[in-house]
């Protein structure tokens, strides 16, 4: 049988390559941080989700080692059989405190949190109203649930209102959105979303993966930015971006919702508990963020500096409210050539084009980190200008 399938797979792989969509993986020979080693050469990394620069933080690594010593390597179980340690409960509490919610449930990844949140709560009697740019894991989670689906254009409140009107016959309605959209760096207008939810009697869920640790006066996410505490019913998020970057996800929110997820959410019931070292390190992350706002302040300073200098140089940057800066080039090949030349200059950035972004919206996405210093930012900006002149993006 396999020889038949093999031919088919080879053909598909060739098609992906011909379309220029084959993803190559570059090998990093150092820890994840601002300056990494790629093929023996040091380059500055501007494409990690390492927003607070915690991926190689000494205090976090020490906490991981301590947990490894005191609680061991692995859990060899799911949570409800024999996979819950005291530290899992401590981390759940830390996350609930951070988001000002009632309770938290941990998952192996935010992909699982989103995959397991809808099906236990909603049936064919209900409605899910989803932003068109929501993350793949939300789309998959929605697919696993029988609720009626509605979709509105990215952050388009008029379309959202129309969906809510159409969904009035359903028993429960839930609006679901990313907090920050990963390609443009724009933030979902949570205040307006919550107003519409009140007007049309809907729940609100937000995925904080790119927004938590980043947006809001002290980086606590969309509810801090839009003062929507108490109005958002469910938050999902990852421990794999701003919060240390290792692995793990969570759903946090109303007590009864979290309670039911513990009983019925399939990725929670049928997948292994988070490893003690990650749990111990993550607890330390939230404690660090409670003690001081230094890392978030640095991130904001870096984002503002980079954006202002790039605009000053004449680049076309999408208005951003996060640590994501989209440098618009509008041409797929140009975006790839640009990124390749940037790497020659020692700057690691990624060019994105259709189908990841709309046709003719090709760009380089730059992700700023608190781990960058001024010299790193200046080097990146200089390289952008140099390559921009070479490729006649700048005059
Ligand atoms: C990265 C991301 C995820 C996936 O998070 P993992 O913990 O890596 O599975 C989910 N949702 C959004 C919006 C993301 O950006």
How close is the Cα of 391 to the center of ligand 1, in Å? 34
Q: Are residues 257 and 110 in the same domain?
A: yes
Q: Which atom of ligand 1 is nearest to the CA of 111?
A: 9
Give the span between the Cα atoms of 10 and 352, in whole angstroms.
25
347-348 sheet: strands from edge to edge:
35-38, 41-45, 347-348
Q: Are residues 64 and 210 in the same domain?
A: yes
109 pLDDT band, cuts 50/70/90, is very high
Q: Which atom of ligand 1 is nearest to the CA of 207?
A: 13
Q: What mean pLDDT do residues 308-312 have? A: 97
Q: Which atom of ligand 1 is nearest to the CA of 249?
A: 7
Residue 367 has pLDDT above 90, yes or no: yes
Domain final residue, candidates 291, 322, 351: 291
19 pLDDT band, cuts 50/70/90, is confident
User: Token match 């050469």: residue?
Assistant: 41
Residue 92 in contact with ligand 1 by CB distance below 6 A: no
Residue 209 in contact with ligand 1 by CB distance below 6 A: yes
Angle at 130 between CA 125 and CA 133, to 5 degrees: 160
Domain final residue, candidates 235, 257, 291: 291
| Rg, C-alpha atoms of the chain | 22
Residue 363 has pLDDT above 90, yes or no: yes
Smallest CA separation from ligand 1 atom 14, residue: 209
Q: Which atom of ligand 1 is nearest to the CA of 180?
A: 13
Q: Are residues 194 and 112 in the same domain?
A: yes
Q: Are strands 363-367 and 324-328 parallel, antiparallel or unpaired?
A: antiparallel
Report the CATH number at residue 69: 3.40.640.10
Q: Are residues 109 and 195 in the same domain?
A: yes
How close is the Cα of 56 to the center of ligand 1, in Å? 20
DSSP states of 164-219: HHHGGGSS-EEEEEESB-TTT-PBP-HHHHHHHHHHTT-EEEEE-TTTTTTSSTTS
Domain final residue, candidates 243, 271, 291: 291
Q: Which atom of ligand 1 is nearest to the CA of 112?
A: 9
Q: Are residues 308 and 359 in the same domain?
A: yes
Residue 210 in contact with ligand 1 by CB distance below 6 A: yes
Residue 76 falls inside a structural domain = yes
pLDDT in tens, 205-261: 999 999 999 999 999 999 999 999 999 999 999 999 999 999 999 999 999 999 999
Residue 367 in contact with ligand 1 by CB distance below 6 A: no
Angle at 331 between CA 326 and CA 337, to 5 degrees: 85
pLDDT in tens, 29-55: 999 999 999 999 999 999 999 999 999
Buried-exposed string 187-201: b where 16+ CB fall within 10 A, e elsewhere: bbbbeebbebbeebe
pLDDT at 308: 97
Q: Are residues 39 and 126 in the same domain?
A: no
For ligand 1, pick from 113, 139, 142, 241 the residue to mutate: most ligand atoms within 8 Å of CB: 241
Q: Are residues 26 and 79 in the same domain?
A: no
Residue 236 in contact with ligand 1 by CB distance below 6 A: no
Q: Are residues 124 and 236 in the same domain?
A: yes
Q: Are residues 220 and 316 in the same domain?
A: no
pLDDT at 20: 83
Please choose, from the candidates 199, 204, 201, the residue with its C-alpha nearest in 3D space to the C-alpha of residue 229.
Answer: 204
Instruction: Tell me the catalytic residues.
Output: 182, 210, 241
Evaluate whether 322 touches 299 at the Cβ level (below 8 Å): no
CA 259, 260, 263, 268 dihedral sign is: negative
Percent above pLDDT 90 for the chain:
97
Give the span between the Cα atoms of 369 and 352, in whole angstroms.
20
Residue 2 falls inside a structural domain = no
Residue 134 in contact with ligand 1 by CB distance below 6 A: no
DSSP states of 255-306: HHHHHHHHHH-HHHHTSPPPPHHHHHHHHHHHHHHHH--HHHHHHHHHHHHH
Evaluate whether 140 touches 185 at the Cβ level (below 8 Å): no
Percent above pLDDT 70 for the chain:
100
Give residue 29's domain range: 22-51+293-390
Q: What is the pTM of this model?
A: 0.97
Residue 15 falls inside a structural domain = no
Token pair of 339 as six digits:
């990124």
Residue 208 falls inside a structural domain = yes
Residue 178 in contact with ligand 1 by CB distance below 6 A: yes
Beta strand spans in the chain (E): 35-38, 41-45, 103-107, 127-131, 148-152, 173-178, 203-207, 234-238, 249-253, 324-328, 347-348, 350-352, 363-367
Q: What is the largest CA-CA distance in the chain?
A: 64
Residue 1 falls inside a structural domain = no
Mean pLDDT across the chain: 97
Q: Are residues 377 and 255 in the same domain?
A: no
Q: Are residues 316 and 244 in the same domain?
A: no
pLDDT at 343: 96
Q: Are residues 307 and 164 in the same domain?
A: no
Residue 12 falls inside a structural domain = no
Residue 278 in contact with ligand 1 by CB distance below 6 A: no
169 pLDDT band, cuts 50/70/90, is very high
Residue 3 falls inside a structural domain = no
Please give the tally of structural domains in the chain.
2
pLDDT in tens, 51-76: 999 999 999 999 999 999 999 999 99
Residue 159 falls inside a structural domain = yes
Report the CATH number at residue 316: 3.90.1150.10
């Amino acid at each position: 049988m396999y020889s038949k399938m093999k031919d088919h797979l080879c053909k598909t792989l060739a098609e992906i390559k011909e379309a220029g969509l084959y993803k190559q993986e570059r090998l990093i020979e150092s820890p994840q941080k601002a300056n990494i080693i790629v093929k023996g050469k040091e380059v500055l990394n501007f494409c990690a989700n390492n927003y607070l620069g915690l991926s190689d933080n000494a205090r976090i690594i020490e906490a991981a080692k301590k947990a490894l010593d005191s609680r061991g390597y692995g859990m060899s179980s799911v949570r409800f059989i024999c996979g819950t340690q005291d530290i899992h409960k401590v981390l759940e509490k830390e996350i609930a405190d951070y988001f000002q919610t009632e309770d938290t449930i941990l998952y192996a990844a935010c992909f699982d949190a989103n995959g397991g949140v809808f099906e236990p709560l909603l049936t064919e009697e209900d409605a899910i109203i989803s932003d068109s740019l929501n993350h793949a894991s939300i789309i998959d989670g929605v697919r696993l649930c029988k609720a009626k689906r509605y979709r509105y254009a990215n952050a388009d409140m008029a379309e959202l209102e129309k969906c809510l009107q159409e969904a009035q016959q359903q028993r429960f309605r839930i609006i679901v959105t990313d907090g920050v959209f990963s390609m443009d760096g724009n933030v979902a207008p949570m205040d307006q979303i919550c107003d519409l939810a009140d007007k049309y009697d809907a729940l609100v869920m937000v995925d904080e993966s790119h927004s938590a640790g980043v947006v809001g006066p002290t980086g606590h996410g969309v509810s801090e930015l839009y003062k929507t505490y108490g109005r958002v019913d469910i938050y999902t998020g990852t421990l794999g971006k701003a919060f240390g970057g290792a692995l793990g996800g969570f759903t946090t929110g109303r007590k009864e919702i979290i309670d039911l997820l513990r009983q019925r959410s399939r990725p929670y019931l049928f997948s292994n508990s988070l490893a003690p070292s990650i749990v111990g390190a993550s607890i330390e992350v939230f404690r660090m963020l409670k003690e001081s706002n230094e890392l978030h302040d640095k991130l904001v300073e870096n984002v503002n500096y980079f954006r202002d200098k790039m605009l000053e140089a004449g680049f076309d940057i999408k208005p951003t409210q996060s640590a994501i800066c989209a440098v618009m080039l509008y041409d797929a090949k140009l975006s790839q050539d640009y990124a390749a030349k940037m790497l020659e200059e020692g700057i690691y950035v990624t060019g994105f084009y259709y189908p990841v972004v709309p046709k003719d919206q090709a760009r380089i996405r730059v992700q700023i980190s608190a781990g960058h210093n001024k010299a790193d930012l200046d080097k990146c900006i200089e390289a952008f200008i140099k390559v921009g002149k070479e490729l006649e993006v700048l005059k």
